Homo-oligomer: A and B are copies of this chain.
């Protein structure tokens, strides 16, 4: 018996919506009409509107055994904001739809929404609509993020050209290593009931998978330095896969240098401990939500001013293909192996 458990059915659909949105604040002038009608209304005041959507499914994208609901709410917003930033745009509104089975109480949903509102607050985004419904099994989340960008200032995947520098923000591979650690500890826990997970000194990589951030600072930096990347994408599936998207859409090749790929020291040490190749984690691990972009060489100096941006290679002509030069000096074709390659 849990005295803190309130059944969703005791509130009803509309009561639940009122409950979950009672402290919802509006932060953007562009939000004309928010939650509570058939639709929300926005006015982007002469700017263009950017829209992106992502679905997260329990058992496919997250495991509630080691994912606190608050972190899940936070992350489900972040992954969408990351897509808006990857267009060189600023997110302004989100809609949040959730389907959940009757194993979830009002308190559980409150925890989830606490994370949602924390992300909205941190990134100055308004929650303007959504849907709350039942599922036969598990927790399913669908977020749509809406952003704004000055006309023709958006950056696609298709503008990279020969000679452009390939850049990435932050560091890569950490989220995959965090997930590997959590999966390992889950296995130990299930096999030896009562043994508490050993996550000591692994805050960094665990944080990378459970509580990622979106790189608003990089977009702000571009605006400040008047840099317009020639192409951009966010890293959700791993560096290889994303870089190949840019090459395909831009009809180019690329040359990537293994030694330039940024990997955090704590992540690298943990990879070695597991006998994993840190570079493979960066290339194929995914979920880092860093920004991968290309710039014209003339912008090299401006970019150098930012210690959180690494130049990791350059764009070549299509015929050269997509290649990586290893630390040992060997050249290999870049392939999108995705997560499976690591499992």
Pick the contact of A59: B131, B136, B140, B233 (CB < 8 A). Answer: B136
Q: How many copies are assembled?
A: 2
In the complex, the answer to whether B49 meets A42 with C-beta atoms within 8 Å is yes
List residues of chain B with CB within 8 A of the CB of A140: 55, 57, 99, 135, 140
Chain A binding surface SS class:
strand
CA distance A145 to B86 in the complex (A): 22
Kindly report which residue of chain B lies nearest to residue A133, judged by CB atoms. B55
Docked complex: A50-79 residues within 8 A CB-CB of B: 50-55, 57-61
Roughly how many angstroms separate A147 CA and B87 CA in the complex, as a whole number?
Answer: 21
| Shortest CB distance A241–B (Å) | 9
List A residues 145-173 near B (Cβ within 8 Å). Answer: 145-147, 149, 151, 154, 156-158
**Does A223 count as interface, using CB distance less than 8 angstroms?**
no
Q: Are A97 and B38 in contact (CB under 8 A)?
A: no
For the complex, give the distance between the alpha carbons of A205 and B234 in Å.
47
Q: Is the CB of B53 within 8 A of A97?
A: yes
* Max count, chain B CB within 10 A of own CB: residue among A37, A95, A129, A136: A37
Contact of A274 with B by CB under 8 A: no
Given A38-B86, A87-B38, A157-B37, CB of A136 within 8 Å of CB of B52: no
The docked-state distance in angstroms from the alpha carbon of A33 to that of B51 is: 10
Contacts of A222-267 to chain B: CB distance below 8 A = 232-234, 249
From A136, which residue of chain B is reached at the shortest CB distance?
B59
Within 8 A of B (CB), among A278-329: none
Answer whether A87 and B37 are a contact pair too, CB < 8 Å, given A97-B142, A136-B138, A137-B136: yes
Besides A57-B135, A61-B133, A146-B146, 19 other A-B contacts (C-beta < 8 A): A32-B48, A33-B156, A36-B249, A38-B84, A38-B232, A39-B50, A39-B51, A39-B83, A39-B87, A41-B49, A41-B51, A44-B44, A49-B146, A51-B93, A51-B128, A57-B133, A60-B133, A97-B142, A142-B142
